[in-house]
Amino acid sequence: MFGERLISGIVLLAITIFVVIGGGNILFATVTIISMIGLFELYRAIGIEKTSLAKAGYVGGFCLDLLMLFRKEEDAMLLMIGFLFIILVLYVITFPEYKIEKVAMVFFGLFYVTAMLGYIYRLRVLPDGKWLIWLAFIGAWGSDTCAYCVGKLIGKHKLPSHLAELSPKKSLEGCIGGVVGAALIGFIYALFVKGRITWVSNPLLTFAIMGGASSIISQLGDLVASAIKRNHGIKDYGKLIPGHGGILDRFDSVIFTAPIVFFLAILFKNGIGM
């Protein structure tokens, strides 16, 4: 099991490096495919992955990705309203085929999966985006690795009972270790790329803050994914990635770190200017 997880993790990392460095249409196509698979996994969790309601979700997700590609994000709200109208019409004309909870989950998926994953691409096309984007993965996968190692070594205190129910193996020490570790990795990363960064005057401090902040959000993302799975009685979203589960199992944290790194980048550039 560990060997399978390690090998698939290495392959996934290699693909990620290739796609992110390539950027452009390669990255856009990859993010769109990941988004479509993620929507399918989410819809499968509630048993509607092949229904007309889900098909509307796939089309809506693809259209939202196209807005991102053509830099028409200002039209996203109009798309969301139109999408909500369409799925509510489907809800009415097919009544009582769907419960309102499933309709709400389809609408939720457009935000949770498509919109948030789209920030991977949006982050990459920012000025200095080819360096900034790695902070999203440091905050997700780097944090996860640090949290695991610290938890294994010195983890003694479990999370509060309601959170421990979602992730019984996590410890407070591991969570803190993930934040500190991601901040340290961000700082070390900045040591190598600081000469290429143009948007802030102190990339060492900025990257450390962004690494630590994205780790906190990353751990929230992990708990959100766990809560959704437990609500629907499943262990993993899928088996696409051997040893890791489905797309949403592997990208549950990146879904949250990509937007936070994007917004922090905008904040530091326009507001704080560190």
Residue 195, CB half-sphere, CA atoms under 13 Å: how many? Answer: 1
Q: CB neighbours (10 Å) of residue 4?
A: 12
**3-state DSSP assignment of residue 274:** coil
- Residue pLDDT, tens place only, 117-136: 999 999 999 989 999 999 99
Please report which confidence band the pLDDT of residue 1 belongs to, taking 50, 70 and 90 as the band edges: low
- Residue pLDDT, tens place only, 26-60: 999 999 999 999 999 999 999 999 999 999 999 99
Residues 6+ apart with CB under 8 A from 46: 101, 102, 105, 232
**Percentage with pLDDT > 70 across the chain:** 96
DSSP for 132-179, please give it.
Answer: HHHHHHIIIIIHHHHHHHHHHHH--PBPPHHHHTT-TT-BHHHHHHHH
Considering the chain, what is the average pLDDT of its residues? 90
| Amino acid making up residue 224 | V
Instruction: Provide the token pair at 248.
Output: 């949403």
d(CA 204, CA 187): 5
| Amino acid making up residue 144 | D
Q: What is the pTM of this model?
A: 0.91
Long-range contacts of 57-64 (CB under 8 A, 24+ apart): 57/87, 57/106, 57/109, 57/110, 60/86, 60/110, 60/114, 61/35, 61/36, 61/109, 61/110, 61/113, 61/114, 62/32, 62/36, 64/110, 64/114, 64/115, 64/118
Q: CB neighbours (10 Å) of residue 19?
A: 18
50 secondary structure, DSSP code = T
Give the residue extent of every domain in the chain. 1-125, 128-274
Mean of the pLDDT values across residues 192-221?
Answer: 91
- Residue pLDDT, tens place only, 187-198: 999 999 988 888
Residue among 76, 65, 59, 60 at smallest CA distance from 32 = 65
